[in-house]
A and B are shown apart, each in its own frame.
Chain A
Amino acid sequence: MSEPVHQHIREFIVENFLFGDDDYELDNGVSLIETDLVDSTGILELVSFLEERFEIAVADADIVPANLDSIDRIAAFVARKRGEGQRLAG
């Protein structure tokens, strides 16, 4: 997985859910729900960010913790979606 994707996602989360709090130790694998970083509104903000920043389409069925509950999972999800997009374009 390319580091820039991780970095963009991390920056979004730190800025929007941690309000720039640099003290917070946010590992790439940590659950965003179990650490109470996102609530039901936050998930929708995250989806909106992913669609706009990475130009992917997120279906309702995609909005599950298996895809979006950590930086690693989000990055993998973005990569999959981009791959799907490229295959469709090709």
Chain B
Amino acid sequence: MCGIAGYCGDGVAPQDGAALLWRMGRELAHRGPDGQGSHVGRGIGLGHRRLAVIDLSDDAAQPMASACGAIRIAYNGEVFNYLELRDELVARGRRFRTESDTEVVLQLYEEFGPDFVARLNGDFALAIWDGRNRRLLLARDRMGVRPLFYHWLRGTLYFASEIKALMQVPGFSAEIDPLALDQIFTLWTPLAPRTAFKNVNELPPAHMMIVEGGRAVTRPYWAFDFPTPGDRASPRAEDDVAEELRALLEDATRIRMRADVEVGSFLSGGLDSSLISAIAARQAPGRLRTFSLAFDDPAFDESRHQETMAAALGTRHDVLTCRAGDIAAAFPAVVRQMERPVLRTAPAPLYLLSQRLRGEGLKVVLSGEGADEIFAGYDVFREARIRRFCARQPGSKLRPHLFRRIYPYIASLQQQTPEYLAAFFGAGADLPDDPLFSHRPRFRATAGAKLFFSRELKAELAGYDAAEELAASLPAEFSRWHPLHQAQYLETRFLLPGYILSAQGDRMVMAHGVESRFPFLDHRLVEFAARIPPDMKLRGLREKHILRRAGADLLPAEISDRPKQPYRAPESVSFAGRDGAYVEALMATPRIAEDGLFNPQATRKLLDKHGRGAVAGFRDSAAFVGILSTQLWLREFAGTATRKQSAQAV
């Protein structure tokens, strides 16, 4: 795993190229502390920071050139099926100089051209310069594990694994994108290709971009989809489905343990990471190391289940206990790594755990992320099912009680009458054909935090609706999918890459030079899961039914029968102590007024409420973390110039 950076175009004088790439690479040093390299040619520059994981020799350094010298690659990621692809290339008469997956990728390009990307099973962001036709190829993995951003300036394309590298481009100006802010304060994520930075885009997952003659064409090479009623697959017995699922999961985990360094595993105490750890432990008997987060607040802590699982597997287990103050202390660094505002503090403990991992000498870790998306584990799927159930008998006093069952960890919901439960989850319940049906209550509850936007920002955003933009971007066949699959698509296509894999994933672990690998996001498993009947995924209100069945013999019953507990961290309360003392200055009325994004008086009252320890509800806590992270973003990336000053300068 590594960091890449580069440019394509005539905007960089040949004598300036190496220095620019060095500066861009310096900003990515945390992603690749083991080495750096660059290539500068006429109208092209490729830079690379290396985290050596496969073939640790200097022969595998990057940018790597083809045997003819005309093609060069800078590549961030791992292709897990590289051994099989290499065998295939050898059978076609190709010879290799290194043991690296990078050379396999390079030779695949030589053999098959840009469409070779669809043959890769892995997590990657890559840049290949083909000097024969002066063509640059950028590509990103299917699910969006590895990041890749770009910026056009006077006809030259600049690209990098992280936006902070693009800030080294002369003339780059960091300014927050108001539409992205609206999207984050509604959907939790900007909608790709939009980012929090004006004029910076991300290459969407499963897309490639070909730049030739100063023009760029972007296109998908893979689509995430579900069966439509016309797709008549013959029904399969549940045992058969579970068996095939198990075989795929074992293989996805096996090839993700390919590395010339030690591979560890996250262990949350839930079903998904326990399954991955159990399979990994069988692959490396007696040698697997597992890493867990514990919280001093019992409301968030899962230590008991983690210990049960670690003992059952016999792993060498390491626990990092996170105090609320730790989150506050780490949060500025977390925002710098995320490069975007967030409404939750959940990334911060993962940042700290990754730091521990690296301190223990690990560079690679397995993660259970992805299972909740592809096997329907999240509460939002069950919530949508209950909302449809309630909508069929709107006056029912019994049906709304089910909402309590799926949110046992939200104390205020446990105390509500059925009438209020029905009302809280009632948003859009009368519109069963709404493509966003499953997510309407969440989007509406989140958008409540926009109450704190300044009068000027509200005026700038007048008439814009982030949820409608999301709805308009859905594929034509979406309306023909089963409601559960529609909800899964929204989670998997948007929130997974936009938040889980980035803000809470790659950016937190790569901050410390650790590479995370996700067996559940192997595209073979993703495609297989999409074709599993909805009832095998969500059986009544039992989530991930088929996955539990497939892995039951690997886990203690305490773990395999355990209901989903979402990963959460203490929110605004984290900033109440001494470690959060910086909050007062960042959210002070003159500062908020000068930056112009939020209502200074309302923010003051929110801060006062926070000071009294009274910020408890979802909206207020999301607003608090959202405002704080936005202010940190401005301080980190927009420098001393406030947003108003930047606008005046333009």
- Which residues does chain B contribute within 8 Å of A24, judged by CB atoms? 451
Out of A21, A37, A40, A44, name the residue touching B602 (CB < 8 Å).
A21
A40 shortest CB reach to chain B, Å: 4
B82 touches A (CB below 8 Å): no
B423 touches A (CB below 8 Å): yes
Q: Which B406-426 residues sit within 8 Å CB-CB of chain A?
A: 410, 412-413, 415-417, 419-420, 423-424, 426
A23 touches B (CB below 8 Å): yes
B616 touches A (CB below 8 Å): yes
- Which residues does chain B contribute within 8 Å of A69, judged by CB atoms? 423
Out of B423, B455, B602, B616, name the residue touching A41 (CB < 8 Å).
B616
Q: Which B118-145 residues sit within 8 Å CB-CB of chain A?
A: none
Interface string of A53-73 (1 = CB under 8 A from B): 000000011011110010000
- Which residues does chain A contribute within 8 Å of B420, judged by CB atoms? 40, 43, 63-65
- The count of residues in chain B whose C-beta lies closer than 8 Å to any C-beta of chain A is 30
Q: A19-B605, A21-B602, A64-B419 are in contact. List 8 more A-B contacts (CB 8 A).
A: A18-B602, A33-B426, A36-B444, A39-B412, A41-B616, A63-B416, A63-B420, A65-B423
A74 shortest CB reach to chain B, Å: 14
- Assembled-state Cα–Cα distance A24/B452 (Å): 11
Contact A19/B424 with A60-B417, A66-B419 known, Cβ cut-off 8 Å = no
Contacts across chains A and B counted by CB atoms under 8 Å = 70
B201 touches A (CB below 8 Å): no
- Assembled-state Cα–Cα distance A36/B448 (Å): 6
Q: Which B150-183 residues sit within 8 Å CB-CB of chain A?
A: none
B619 touches A (CB below 8 Å): yes
Most buried by B among A15, A21, A24, A36: A36
Interface string of A1-23 (1 = CB under 8 A from B): 00000000000000100111101
Q: Which residue of B lies closest to A60 (CB)?
A: B417
Q: Which residue of B lies closest to A23 (CB)?
A: B455
- Which residues does chain A contribute within 8 Å of B618, judged by CB atoms? 39, 41
Say yes or no: B412 contacts A41, CB within 8 Å: yes
- The count of residues in chain A whose C-beta lies closer than 8 Å to any C-beta of chain B is 24
Say yes or no: A61 contacts B417, CB within 8 Å: yes
Q: Which residue of B lies closest to A15 (CB)?
A: B605
Interface string of B76-108 (1 = CB under 8 A from A): 000000000000000000000000000000000
Report the 5 A-B pairs with minimum CB-CB distance, sorted nearest first: A41-B617, A19-B602, A64-B419, A36-B448, A40-B412
Q: Which residue of A lies closest to B452 (CB)?
A: A19
Q: Report which B residues bind A (CB closer than 8 A).
A: 410, 412-413, 415-417, 419-420, 423-424, 426-427, 444-445, 447-448, 451-452, 455, 599, 601-603, 605-606, 609, 616-619
- Assembled-state Cα–Cα distance A41/B599 (Å): 23
Q: Which residue of B lies closest to A61 (CB)?
A: B417
Say yes or no: A65 contacts B605, CB within 8 Å: no
Say yes or no: A40 contacts B605, CB within 8 Å: no
- Assembled-state Cα–Cα distance A33/B448 (Å): 11
Say yes or no: B419 contacts A36, CB within 8 Å: no
- Which residues does chain A contribute within 8 Å of B602, judged by CB atoms? 18-21
- Assembled-state Cα–Cα distance A61/B445 (Å): 25
- Assembled-state Cα–Cα distance A37/B603 (Å): 16
Q: Which residue of A lies closest to B450 (CB)?
A: A36
A-B contact pairs, 23 of them (CB 8 A): A15-B605, A18-B451, A18-B602, A19-B599, A19-B602, A19-B603, A19-B605, A20-B601, A20-B605, A21-B451, A21-B602, A23-B455, A24-B451, A33-B426, A34-B427, A36-B448, A39-B412, A39-B617, A40-B416, A40-B617, A41-B617, A44-B412, A65-B420
- Which residues does chain B contribute within 8 Å of A61, judged by CB atoms? 417
Q: Which residue of A lies closest to B448 (CB)?
A: A36
- Assembled-state Cα–Cα distance A36/B426 (Å): 11
Contact A43/B455 with A65-B423, A69-B423 known, Cβ cut-off 8 Å = no
Q: Which residue of B lies closest to A36 (CB)?
A: B448
Q: Which residue of A lies closest to B458 (CB)?
A: A23
A42 touches B (CB below 8 Å): yes
Say yes or no: A19 contacts B606, CB within 8 Å: yes
Q: Which residue of B lies closest to A37 (CB)?
A: B448
